[in-house]
Amino acid sequence: MKTKQTPLALLLFLLLALASCVEQEVPDDPNDCKQSEKSTGTSCDGGGSDDGLEPDPIEPDDPADPTDPTPPPPQTPGNAWNAPWRRSDTTIVIDAYELNPINWNQMATDPKVAGVIHRSSIGMRVDKQYVARKAIAKQRGYLWGAYHLGTRENTIAQADLFLSLINDEEDTLMILDLEDTNNTRFMTLDQAVVFMEYIFEKTGRIPVVYANHSTTRLINQRLANNPLIQQSKLWYARFKSSVTDFPVGIWDNYFLWQFSSEINCSKTGSCLYNVPGTLYDMDVNVYNGNEAHLRYEWSMM
């Protein structure tokens, strides 16, 4: 005889059956999990958080920038102030303007010459040889730099002219040439600060400062607390074979030292250093390190 089940017992039976259908064992082995994923169509990536939010994605590390230059091996250069151009571990850079002749084939015979800095402009006038020589120098693999000789003309207009010649070329070293600031023809220190700050505002780069001995001392006295000048490099002009009284202050040393020009040369062959393919009136500069270090430092400015 069939017995009649009570509604309560039937309800209990149905609840137990339902629980056994939906309960699944979570495997400990990831491989087991992957097999379960294939068979059930459910994901093994169980969210790990009980707040119901998806976990934050893991951001990949920024890839290395292939354009960042690699620093060359450390170097221990010799005495920076005692005719460093005579050493084999130093590098030569010439700086020219439109009236300096250059025989490029002859200059290429000197392996110490690695760079050319050319006057881009003086006041509001463009140097006539700047554009043509830039193309030649770059084609031959020389480092390229541009210097603006500052005058008492409108400072911002001078800076805009300079930037138009640089044309956003990051491999062109930018220099502000400060001559005798007491001369009413040339740029004052106040104008120099305006020029430097404007260039930095427009490009994010700080020009190198070119100054002779007396101007360097004046910059130390007047601009020692200027944060932009403090971060600049010095191109120091002193036409002698050794220096014992460098005016330490903002700068402990030079980036480049202009040591030879028509000021201390009377004819070709009489200069402290003679660059093939140039005359005695060519300005010659030394970097107290090898070419690899110069190229790296050049690229960082």
Q: According to the CATH classification, is domain 84-299 in 3.20.20.80?
A: yes
pLDDT digits (tens, 9 = 90+) for 196-232: 999 999 999 999 999 999 999 999 999 999 999 999 9
Is the pLDDT reported for residue 284 higher than 80? yes
Which tokens hold the place of 288?
Answer: 């107290």
What residue segments make up the domains of the chain, in order of their start?
84-299
Q: Mention every residue, 6+ apart, whose C-beta is less than 8 A from residue 219.
A: 178, 189, 209, 211, 229, 249, 250
Longest dimension (CA), the chain: 136
Which tokens hold the place of 157?
Answer: 């207009």
pLDDT band (50, 70, 90) for residue 67: low
CA-nearest of 83, 146, 110, 90 to 292 is: 90
Comparing 14 with 102, which gets the higher pLDDT? Answer: 102
Q: Mention every residue, 6+ apart, whose C-beta is less than 8 A from residue 270.
A: 280
pLDDT digits (tens, 9 = 90+) for 9-59: 444 444 444 444 444 443 444 343 333 333 333 333 333 333 333 334 434
Model's pTM, two decimal places?
Answer: 0.78
Q: Which residues of 58-90 are buried (b: 16+ CB within 10 A; e: fewer)?
A: eeeeeeeeeeeeeeeeeeeeeebbebbbeeeeb
Instruction: State the amino acid at position 46 in one-letter form.
Output: G
